[in-house]
């Protein structure tokens, strides 16, 4: 490895470069050389291919390897394959693949070498230099491209040796700048390598033309970053799209369409500025081209088969996008400025966060298209994974396995795109089998500022888009003042996605004409930039001037298009004035057509199922694959399956079996189940084992839950990337698409969920209230104080409870509908189940409800194997249901009047409490009541239980610290349930800053103290 590297660094140094060519000549006879070049495409590398990497030492040898590998990676030894794949090797320009080099060198009239004679070393060197220059432009031309409409960052052209001014400087050409030729060489003909398309049909071009074309392609208004991509096919694809002569030629009709769209985009902001001058709207001025850009992406994508586009975007230009991309009725948008009362439920959101969903005819392609903009919070980029999850789900339900019909577009601000970590986390989902959306087009509205902060203070990377390089996404930087360049880039991006189904990025480099919002003064912080902006004509005017000058349209036409759009706005404005209310439903991003219709909103379907169903699921779940003889399963798993089978025979279920019963029975009913999170396939605690792995064959797996019934719904269980923020957001988005699915996300340990806090706060807990959309997402959060230290103990249930919207002081009217009404009215459900049966029921209830609410479930760790944490099938079969409270059903419960103390608790501590009670022989004196559904609080059942034990002292026992766990939530609600006539006192750990002690001994001391306190009379 070291030797190969050394050989190459030598070959690549400017000095060695020259020697390399000479050496090449020396070592080969000139005739052989000419032949070899011509025949390069058909050379075989059998002998070399067999050579392992470690043996290779010479440059030509590596060249051979590289060229062979480029053609067919399997033709070289695996060690070479690994080396080239690892991208450690950059081919020097002369080592680029040569297959299209059909003319022999001798066919050229190189200075000195006359027809048929061998080329001299200078000729070879010059050709190599030209190839190096071509490659330099391709790799680094973007560094000198003219991207900044304000010209602040634009590099001046420098006069080269040939007397012509060019942008490509040493940053671009590096050591090859020394090879730039003099004026006398400009007319010399150079053969073009197969890695460039600048020649079109020409195999060779004069040097001057080569340089001019390269400048025009790579250092003009488009800067393409793509040479880091590992695939030669993809690199060539991009080169072709940008280098082929004439790609930027637009017909007059196309130009007029761009102008019309730009007129609308510009006119919309101007209209709002005129009518609502003091309102924040986060206008797009300075980057209005984003609207025609999005339309172009959508047009081309629809042409290529896409039927549904799901977009996520921040504040900037959002209203304009709704109006001019989605064509949301303008009057509905204007009504948002009027400060009207809402006609429907919900607390609403500011106008530049609202979502929308529109189905309409695309007039350009004459095809129907569905466009959704997903509602989002202020939290920049938080919507990204949500959009991806929603897109993935839509692809799934349509059977669109390659993403040909449904696609996502994510729009970003420049500062947020590089600053927010969730962008990176979301990028990393892009190629994972269970998370990919088969390519997202990212559009950065790069106004070169974030609020008041310049890029030089907001990022350490050269571009705001560098994060996309990690997934090999090509990045198309483009000057936002050149509409045609922008349209070309958009077309290429849409085609890229349709061809390779991978992400790509369009970096629209514009500026921000106003302050961060329309009321802000930008001169406070960016005086020089804004002096330039004040003098800068807007894009529409620049483009109109251009089209008028070239005769594509007249000044009158330009004016009349603008006037026409203003009239449209005025009419909508008048209509908006007649509205008396806003309707949140008009802003729904994910309508569930047919789901609510005809349903009794307060009727929950039964959650128990026939015993035979449980037995069937149990048997399947405990069986090895049908082809067990060939499928080698780990012995430990055979024991797990046998233990499961024994439970099924006894008609009892542990936690994993209870969960499988819930999943299996829902799948049978046609409900799609998707479980996602870190290591969920096996389960963090090695209890689930949904995916059995063949011990001898890679990727051979068996998942019995996918084979319960022939006509069942699909089950998907996926180990996710090691992300909480993006993956939870993704699953939330997935759950928004279709209510008839149970979507679950499991944290590795509950406390890790706080790295996804924005998804929890901004979407899950408040989404329905802000955006009238529902989600039945389940969060499974392993929780419990088991002496594992501060970071593996608590899912911080207190935080979820603090965000629950039920009023501590309000006891809802008691009736048969008490429980369902509470569920209907709350923002989410928080529960901590102690039995597999209750876990099973609460999961099934998610689907049995006539509406959807997120479910936050504290889930067990040690209880997964606790001998008592098992449920008989009778608690899951027909007639059984979820128990919000599990009363004491031992001696205390049977003789309540003798009971001296009632200990209310939730979760696993119950088992410790009962054990202590047995040890102390206090079964008749102390009742233990489990609150399984903590929120919404079971006021009615707590009251009932308290009434049962009229003479008893009431306590709440918890293992979490006093300022954590459920105490602060349940305390006031107990008082309301008891009508303030009795008190309930606290038993448990004192307040603490940390969730749990790191010392095992201290943990045991604390636990014993709490158990002794609770179980004493
Ligand atoms: C997570 C998060 N942090 C901070 C903010 C406050 N904030 C709103 S806009 C903004 C600047 C965004 O800059 P950029 O992404 O470039 O978008 P632009 O406003 O320039 O279009 C900031 C810091 C926010 N909305 N979200
Ligand atoms: Mg910005």
Q: What per-residue confidence (pLDDT) applies to 160?
A: 79
In this structure, the answer to whether residues 297 and 189 fall within a common structural domain is no
Q: What per-residue confidence (pLDDT) applies to 344?
A: 72
Mean pLDDT of the chain: 89
State if residue 454 touches ligand 1 by the CB under 6 angstroms criterion.
no
State if residue 382 touches ligand 1 by the CB under 6 angstroms criterion.
no
- For residue 242, whether the previous peptide bond is cis, meaning omega lies within 30 degrees of 0, is no
Six-digit token pair at 733?
């988005």
In this structure, the answer to whether residues 904 and 865 fall within a common structural domain is no
State if residue 61 touches ligand 1 by the CB under 6 angstroms criterion.
no
Query: Cβ atoms within 10 A of the Cβ of 32, count?
Result: 11
Residues 272 and 677: their CA atoms lie apart, in Å, by 44
State if residue 349 touches ligand 1 by the CB under 6 angstroms criterion.
no
Please indicate, yes or no, if residue 880 is contained in any of the structural domains: no
Q: What per-residue confidence (pLDDT) applies to 121?
A: 86
Angstrom CA distances, 591 to 206, 730, 773, 1017, stand at 60, 18, 8, 56
In this structure, the answer to whether residues 537 and 628 fall within a common structural domain is no
As a whole number, mean pLDDT of residues 551-561 equals: 97
Residue 63 has pLDDT above 90, yes or no: no
State in Å: Cα 378 to ligand 1 middle.
8
Q: 757's torsion region: left (phi>0), alpha (psi -120 to 50) or beta?
A: alpha
* pLDDT tier, 70 (very low <50, low <70, confident <90, very high otherwise): low
Lowest average pLDDT, out of 173-187, 598-612, 713-727, 902-916, goes to: 173-187
Among 416, 442, 517, name the best residue to mutate to test ligand 1's pocket (greatest count of ligand atoms within 8 A of Cβ).
416
State in Å: Cα 451 to ligand 2 middle.
7
State in Å: Cα 447 to ligand 1 middle.
12
* pLDDT tier, 9 (very low <50, low <70, confident <90, very high otherwise): very low
Phi, psi torsion values for 523, nearest 5 degrees = -70, -20
State in Å: Cα 515 to ligand 2 middle.
11
Residue 55 has pLDDT above 80, yes or no: no
Residues 5 and 21: their CA atoms lie apart, in Å, by 18
In this structure, the answer to whether residues 438 and 308 fall within a common structural domain is yes
Q: Which atom of ligand 1 is nearest to the CA of 382?
A: 1
State if residue 378 touches ligand 1 by the CB under 6 angstroms criterion.
yes
Residues 51 and 46: their CA atoms lie apart, in Å, by 9
As a whole number, mean pLDDT of residues 745-762 equals: 97
Residues 976 and 441: their CA atoms lie apart, in Å, by 53
State if residue 376 touches ligand 1 by the CB under 6 angstroms criterion.
no
Q: Which atom of ligand 1 is nearest to the CA of 378?
A: 25
Higher pLDDT, 57 or 811: 811
CA 499 to chain centre: 20
On whether the CB atoms of residues 238 and 197 are closer than 8 A, the answer is: no
In this structure, the answer to whether residues 966 and 989 fall within a common structural domain is yes
* DSSP result, 708-747: S-TTPPPEEEEE--S-SHHHHHHHHHHHHH-SSEEEEEE-
Please indicate, yes or no, if residue 997 is contained in any of the structural domains: yes
Q: What per-residue confidence (pLDDT) applies to 116?
A: 53
On whether the CB atoms of residues 651 and 873 are closer than 8 A, the answer is: yes
Residue 290 has pLDDT above 80, yes or no: yes
Angle between helices 2-12 and 14-26 (to 10 degrees): 100
Residues 995 and 960: their CA atoms lie apart, in Å, by 7
Residue 262 has pLDDT above 60, yes or no: yes
Residue 570 has pLDDT above 50, yes or no: yes
3-state secondary structure of 314: coil
* pLDDT tier, 60 (very low <50, low <70, confident <90, very high otherwise): low
State in Å: Cα 941 to ligand 1 middle.
47
Residues 817 and 956: their CA atoms lie apart, in Å, by 27
775-796 tens-digit pLDDT: 999 999 999 999 999 999 999 9
Measured distance between the N- and C-terminal CA atoms of the chain, rounded to whole angstroms: 76
Q: What per-residue confidence (pLDDT) applies to 53?
A: 43
Please indicate, yes or no, if residue 176 is contained in any of the structural domains: yes
Strand runs labelled E in 788-847: 829-832
* pLDDT tier, 87 (very low <50, low <70, confident <90, very high otherwise): low
3-state secondary structure of 420: coil
Query: Cβ atoms within 10 A of the Cβ of 360, count?
Result: 12
Residues 673 and 740: their CA atoms lie apart, in Å, by 9
Q: What per-residue confidence (pLDDT) applies to 61?
A: 58
608-636 tens-digit pLDDT: 999 999 999 999 999 999 887 789 999 99
Residue 643 has pLDDT above 50, yes or no: yes
Upper half-sphere CA count for residue 64 (Cβ side, 13 Å): 21
Token pair 């940390």: residue:
994
CATH number of the domain where residue 393 is located: 3.40.50.970
User: Whole domain around residue 944: which residue ranges?
Assistant: 889-1015
CATH number of the domain where residue 694 is located: 3.40.50.12470
Give the strand pairing for 367-373 and 222-225.
unpaired
Please indicate, yes or no, if residue 518 is contained in any of the structural domains: yes
CATH number of the domain where residue 969 is located: 3.40.50.11610
Residue 812 has pLDDT above 60, yes or no: yes
Residues 839 and 658: their CA atoms lie apart, in Å, by 7
377-407 tens-digit pLDDT: 999 999 999 999 999 999 999 999 999 999 9
Q: What per-residue confidence (pLDDT) applies to 879?
A: 97
Q: Which atom of ligand 1 is nearest to the CA of 417?
A: 15
Of 516, 550, 584, the one marking the end of a domain is 550
State if residue 380 touches ligand 1 by the CB under 6 angstroms criterion.
yes
Q: What per-residue confidence (pLDDT) applies to 514?
A: 94
Please indicate, yes or no, if residue 108 is contained in any of the structural domains: no
Higher pLDDT, 81 or 802: 802
Higher pLDDT, 61 or 291: 291
Question: Where is 573: in which H helix or E strand?
Answer: helix 555-577
98-134 tens-digit pLDDT: 333 334 455 554 444 444 567 788 888 888 999 999 9
Give the strand pairing for 308-312 and 406-413.
parallel
In this structure, the answer to whether residues 348 and 455 fall within a common structural domain is yes
Token pair 């839950």: residue:
705
State in Å: Cα 929 to ligand 1 middle.
49
Residues 527 and 422: their CA atoms lie apart, in Å, by 32
Residues 138 and 789: their CA atoms lie apart, in Å, by 54
In this structure, the answer to whether residues 870 and 957 fall within a common structural domain is no
In this structure, the answer to whether residues 925 and 776 fall within a common structural domain is no
On whether the CB atoms of residues 848 and 606 are closer than 8 A, the answer is: yes
340-377 tens-digit pLDDT: 777 777 777 777 778 899 998 888 788 889 999 999 99
500-528 tens-digit pLDDT: 999 999 999 999 999 999 889 999 999 99
In this structure, the answer to whether residues 418 and 476 fall within a common structural domain is yes
Token pair 């059942």: residue:
941
Please indicate, yes or no, if residue 17 is contained in any of the structural domains: no
State if residue 762 touches ligand 1 by the CB under 6 angstroms criterion.
no
What percentage of the chain exceeds 90 in pLDDT? 77
Among 384, 442, 451, name the best residue to mutate to test ligand 1's pocket (greatest count of ligand atoms within 8 A of Cβ).
451
Determine whether 951 is exposed, middle or buried from the number of CB atoms within 10 Å of its CB (0-12, 13-18, 19+).
exposed
- H-only helix segments in 881-982: 891-894, 909-919, 939-948, 967-977
**Domain count of the fold of the chain:** 4
Please indicate, yes or no, if residue 587 is contained in any of the structural domains: no
Q: What per-residue confidence (pLDDT) applies to 342?
A: 72
Lowest average pLDDT, out of 82-86, 132-136, 845-849, goes to: 82-86
As a whole number, mean pLDDT of residues 593-612 equals: 93
Question: Where is 275: in which H helix or E strand?
Answer: helix 252-275
Beta bridge mates, 311: 373, 409
What percentage of the chain exceeds 70 in pLDDT? 88
Among 415, 447, 464, 757, name the best residue to mutate to test ligand 1's pocket (greatest count of ligand atoms within 8 A of Cβ).
415
Residues 366 and 369: their CA atoms lie apart, in Å, by 9
In this structure, the answer to whether residues 378 and 506 fall within a common structural domain is yes
Q: What per-residue confidence (pLDDT) applies to 635?
A: 95
State if residue 414 touches ligand 1 by the CB under 6 angstroms criterion.
yes
Q: What per-residue confidence (pLDDT) applies to 90?
A: 53
Residues 550 and 255: their CA atoms lie apart, in Å, by 11
Residues 959 and 682: their CA atoms lie apart, in Å, by 28
Please indicate, yes or no, if residue 729 is contained in any of the structural domains: yes
Residue 64 has pLDDT above 90, yes or no: no
On whether the CB atoms of residues 511 and 522 are closer than 8 A, the answer is: no
In this structure, the answer to whether residues 169 and 272 fall within a common structural domain is no
Q: What per-residue confidence (pLDDT) applies to 257?
A: 97
Which one of the ligands is nearest to 509 CA? 2
Of 550, 578, 595, the one marking the end of a domain is 550
State in Å: Cα 449 to ligand 2 middle.
4
Q: Which atom of ligand 1 is nearest to the CA of 381?
A: 1
As a whole number, mean pLDDT of residues 416-437 equals: 98
In this structure, the answer to whether residues 753 and 899 fall within a common structural domain is no
């Amino acid at each position: 490895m070291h030797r190969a590297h050394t050989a190459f660094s030598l070959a690549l140094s400017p000095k060695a470069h020259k020697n390399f060519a000479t050496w090449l000549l020396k070592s080969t006879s000139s005739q052989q050389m000419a032949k070899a070049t011509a025949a390069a495409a058909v050379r075989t590398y059998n002998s070399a291919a067999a050579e392992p990497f470690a043996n290779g030492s010479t440059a030509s040898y590596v060249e051979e390897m590289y060229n062979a590998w480029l053609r067919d990676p399997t033709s070289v030894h695996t060690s070479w394959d690994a080396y080239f794949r690892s991208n450690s090797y950059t081919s020097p320009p002369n080592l680029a693949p040569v297959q299209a080099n059909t003319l022999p060198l001798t066919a050229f009239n190189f200075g000195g070498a006359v027809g048929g004679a061998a080329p001299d070393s200078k000729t070879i060197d010059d050709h190599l230099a030209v190839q190096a220059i071509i490659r330099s432009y391709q790799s680094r031309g973007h560094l000198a491209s003219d991207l900044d409409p304000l010209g602040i960052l634009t590099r001046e052209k420098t006069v080269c040796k040939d007397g012509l001014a060019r942008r490509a400087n040493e940053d671009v050409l590096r050591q090859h700048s020394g090879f730039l030729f003099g004026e006398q060489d400009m007319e010399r003909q150079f053969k073009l390598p197969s890695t460039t398309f600048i020649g079109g049909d020409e195999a060779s071009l004069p040097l001057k033309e080569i340089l001019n074309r390269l400048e025009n392609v790579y250092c003009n208004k488009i800067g393409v970053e793509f040479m880091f991509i590992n695939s030669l096919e993809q690199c060539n694809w991009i080169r072709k799209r940008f280098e082929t002569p004439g790609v930027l030629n637009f017909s007059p009709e196309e130009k007029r369409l761009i102008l019309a769209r730009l007129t609308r985009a510009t006119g919309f902001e101007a209209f709002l500025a005129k009518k609502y001058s003091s309102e924040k709207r986060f206008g797009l001025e300075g980057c209005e081209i984003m609207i025609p850009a999005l339309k172009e992406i959508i047009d081309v994508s629809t042409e290529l088969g896409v039927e549904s586009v799901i977009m996520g975007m921040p504040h900037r230009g959002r209203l304009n996008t709704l109006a001019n991309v989605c064509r949301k009725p303008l009057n509905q948008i204007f009504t948002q400025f009027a400060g009207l009362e809402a006609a429907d439920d919900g607390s609403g959101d500011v106008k530049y966060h609202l979502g929308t969903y529109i189905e309409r005819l695309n007039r350009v392609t004459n095809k129907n298209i569905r466009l959704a903009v997903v509602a989002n919070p202020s939290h920049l980029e938080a919507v990204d994974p949500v959009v991806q999850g929603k897109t993935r789900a839509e692809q799934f339900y349509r059977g669109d396995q390659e993403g040909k019909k449904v696609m996502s577009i994510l729009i970003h601000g420049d500062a947020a795109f590089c600053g927010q970590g969730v962008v990176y986390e979301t990028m990393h989902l892009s190629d994972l089998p269970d998370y990919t959306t088969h390519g997202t087009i990212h559009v950065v509205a790069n106004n070169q500022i974030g609020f008041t902060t310049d890029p030089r203070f907001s990022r350490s990377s050269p571009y705001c888009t560098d994060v996309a390089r990690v997934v090999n996404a090509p990045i198309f930087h483009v000057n936002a003042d050149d509409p045609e360049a922008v349209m070309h880039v958009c077309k290429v991006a849409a085609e890229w996605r349709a061809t390779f189904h991978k992400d790509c990025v369009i970096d629209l480099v514009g500026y921000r004409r106003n302050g961060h919002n329309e009321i802000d003064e930008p001169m406070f912080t960016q005086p020089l930039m804004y002096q330039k902006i004040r003098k800068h004509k807007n894009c529409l005017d620049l483009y109109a001037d251009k089209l008028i000058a070239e005769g594509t349209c007249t000044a009158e036409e330009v004016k009349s298009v603008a006037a026409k759009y203003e009239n449209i706005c005025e009419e909508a404005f008048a209509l908006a004035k007649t509205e008396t209310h806003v309707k949140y439903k008009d802003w729904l991003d994910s309508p569930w057509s047919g789901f609510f219709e005809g349903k009794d909103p307060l009727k929950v379907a039964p959650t128990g199922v026939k015993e035979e169903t449980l037995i069937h699921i149990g048997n399947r779940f405990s069986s090895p694959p049908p082809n067990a003889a060939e499928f080698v399963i780990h012995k430990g798993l055979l024991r797990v399956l046998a233990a499961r089978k024994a439970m099924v025979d006894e008609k009892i279920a542990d936690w994993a079996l209870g969960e499988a019963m819930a999943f299996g029975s829902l799948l049978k009913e046609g409900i799609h189940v998707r479980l996602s999170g870190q290591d969920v396939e096996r389960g963090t605690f090695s209890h689930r084992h949904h995916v059995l792995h063949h011990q001898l064959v890679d990727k051979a797996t068996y998942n019995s839950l996918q084979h319960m019934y022939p006509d069942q719904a699909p089950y998907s269980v996926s180990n996710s990337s090691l992300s909480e923020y993006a993956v939870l957001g993704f699953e939330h988005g997935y759950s928004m698409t279709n209510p008839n699915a149970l979507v679950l996300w499991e944290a590795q340990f509950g406390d890790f969920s706080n790295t996804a806090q924005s998804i929890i706060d901004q979407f899950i807990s408040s989404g329905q209230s802000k955006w009238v959309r529902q989600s039945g997402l389940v969060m499974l959060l392993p929780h419990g104080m088991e002496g594992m230290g501060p970071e593996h103990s608590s899912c911080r249930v207190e935080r979820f409870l603090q965000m629950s919207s039920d009023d501590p002081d309000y006891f809802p009217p008691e009736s048969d509908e008490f429980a369902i009404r509470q569920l209907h009215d709350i923002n989410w459900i928080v529960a901590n189940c102690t039995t597999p049966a209750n876990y099973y029921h609460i999961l099934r209830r998610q689907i049995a409800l006539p509406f959807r609410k997120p479910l936050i479930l504290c889930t067990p760790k040690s209880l997964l194997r606790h001998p008592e944490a098992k449920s008989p099938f009778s608690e899951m079969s027909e007639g059984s249901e979820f128990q919000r409270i599990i009363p004491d059903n031992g001696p205390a419960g049977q003789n309540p009047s003798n009971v001296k103390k009632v200990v209310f608790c939730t979760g696993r501590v119950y088992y410790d409490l009962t054990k202590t009670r047995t040890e102390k022989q206090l079964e008749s004196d102390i009742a233990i009541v489990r609150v399984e559904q903590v929120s919404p609080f079971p006021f009615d059942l707590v009251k009932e239980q308290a009434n049962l034990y009229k003479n008893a002292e009431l306590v709440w026992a918890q293992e979490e610290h006093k300022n954590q766990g459920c105490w602060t939530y349940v305390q006031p609600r107990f008082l309301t349930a008891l009508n303030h006539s009795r008190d309930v006192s606290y038993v448990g750990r004192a307040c603490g800053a940390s969730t749990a002690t790191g010392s095992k001994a201290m943990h045991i001391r604390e636990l014993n103290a709490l158990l002794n306190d609770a179980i004493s009379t």
